[in-house]
Amino acid sequence: MMTVTIKDVARAAKVAPSTVSRVISDSPRISERTKEKVREAMQELGYHPNFNARSLANQSTKTIGVVMPNSANKTFQNPFFPEVIRGISTKAHQLEYGLYLSTGQSEEEIFEEVQHMVQGKRVDGIILLYSKADDQVMKYLHEQDFPFTVIGRPYDETLQNVTYVNNDNFKAAKTVTEYLLLLGHKRIAFIGGNLENVVTIDHMEGYHRALKNAGMEPNNDFIVFHEELQEGGQEAVIDLMSLNERPTAMIVADDIMTFGVMRMLSEMEIHVPDDISIISFNNVMISELSAPPMTTVDINIYSLGYEAANLLIDKILHPGAEAKKMLIPHKLMKRETCRRIASAQRAASEKSV
């Protein structure tokens, strides 16, 4: 792909290259009319100013771009993201790389920001902190053959050669569902996050598989999706608890959502784990602080970040290398939100199955 230069822009706008440089630095010596003409030419040609003139002889910026899911302000409410960034920054610091965080609030803003990072050579590589179905950012980075790694797995099977770090989310969800089945639960609800996210899709498939293996059909009334924050958890509880047949156990996508779930249950005077068992994912640092302390799956958030940075820097330094896929182990943290279903409760729940 040919890189568009200042000279190309100058030719298209019928001005001198020095004028284009001045427009880029927003010099007051250039009239608004000329600025407009030059900016139009830049846009038409897809020219992005290179802010690192020092990367002349293919020198690196020693910077990694970190792209968060849209709406960065909500993202930071979830301790998953600061913890994953802590893992990334530890590895980056060891090899003297800096971080450049995306701040876009909408998908469009993020996509534009990524284009600027790539075309303006602001970063040497990019880490996507999420993976969702039909993601234009991932497609774009793949097309540009720009070094990037993903936390999660690419949804699109056609995107070959993508390096990623992930947990076995299918297996984790299958295990927690089996654990609840072994405790005698038959009415197990699933509160998933955003259905666009690949992690939600994998969790749901694991949940389905465990029920089917136990000879049970998943009940669609027991499956709800919400954004992974406290309010989503609260809404999910209202949906589930207004059913004639309430679930006796819940699998919740995310610890922060579980706080919302437990707060709402406590307002309804439904006791955990006596009336209902709850199991969650992520094991963020505050998950032990719930009352009672949360049973959850530790997915090693810090390691996800650390290894993503490790694989990305390796890719930056060895551009021709094969894509790598790494699975980070997970572990069930048994605390106090699950219990064996009492026989009277089980008899009632079996009668209604």
- The answer, yes or no, to whether residue 134 has pLDDT greater than 90, is no
297 Ramachandran zone, left/alpha/beta (phi>0; psi -120 to 50): beta
Secondary-structure class of domain 63-167+302-329 per CATH:
alpha beta
Counting beta carbons within 10 angstroms of the beta carbon of residue 336, is it exposed (0 to 12), middle (13 to 18) or buried (19 or more)? middle
Among residues 301, 310, 258, the alpha carbon closest in space to that of 97 is found at 310
- The answer, yes or no, to whether residue 110 has pLDDT greater than 70, is yes
pLDDT of residue 320: 84
pLDDT of residue 52: 57
Give the three-class secondary structure for 326.
Answer: strand
Which of 107-116, 171-180, 252-261 ranks highest by mean pLDDT? 171-180
Q: In the CATH scheme, what architecture does the domain 169-299+333-351 have?
A: 3-Layer(aba) Sandwich (3.40)
- The answer, yes or no, to whether residue 224 has pLDDT greater than 80, is yes
d(CA 150, CA 130): 7
Least confident of 46-50, 121-125, 227-231: 227-231
Alpha-helix runs per DSSP H in 195-300: 198-213, 230-241, 255-267
How many CA atoms are closer than 13 Å to the CA of 55, on its beta-carbon side?
16
pLDDT of residue 56: 47
Give the three-class secondary structure for 189.
Answer: strand
pLDDT tens digit string along 187-215?
Answer: 999 999 888 899 999 999 999 999 999 99
Going by pLDDT thresholds of 50, 70 and 90, the confidence category of residue 60 is: confident
Query: In angstroms, how far is CA 278 from the centroid of its own chain?
Result: 23
- The answer, yes or no, to whether residue 105 has pLDDT greater than 90, is no
pLDDT of residue 159: 77
d(CA 36, CA 61): 30
pLDDT of residue 337: 97
pLDDT of residue 54: 43
Based on its alpha-carbon atoms, the radius of gyration of the chain, rounded to whole angstroms, reads 25
- The answer, yes or no, to whether residue 344 has pLDDT greater than 60, is no
pLDDT of residue 349: 61
pLDDT of residue 351: 60
pLDDT tens digit string along 257-286?
Answer: 999 999 999 999 999 999 999 999 999 999
pTM of the model: 0.82
- Among residues of the chain, what percentage have pLDDT more than 90? 73
d(CA 124, CA 126): 7
Better-scored residue on pLDDT, 282 or 24: 282
pLDDT of residue 57: 44
d(CA 208, CA 46): 46
Average pLDDT over residues 36-61: 76
Which helix (DSSP H) or strand (DSSP E) does residue 127 occupy? Answer: strand 125-128
Among residues 328, 336, 264, 339, the alpha carbon closest in space to that of 295 is found at 336
Average pLDDT over residues 119-129: 94
d(CA 104, CA 147): 21
Domain map of the chain by residue range? 6-45, 63-167+302-329, 169-299+333-351
Same topology, domains 63-167+302-329 and 169-299+333-351? Answer is yes
Give yes or no for a contact between 166 and 197, defined as CB atoms under 8 angstroms apart: no
- The answer, yes or no, to whether residue 331 has pLDDT greater than 90, is yes
Going by pLDDT thresholds of 50, 70 and 90, the confidence category of residue 75 is: confident
- The answer, yes or no, to whether residue 222 has pLDDT greater than 60, is yes
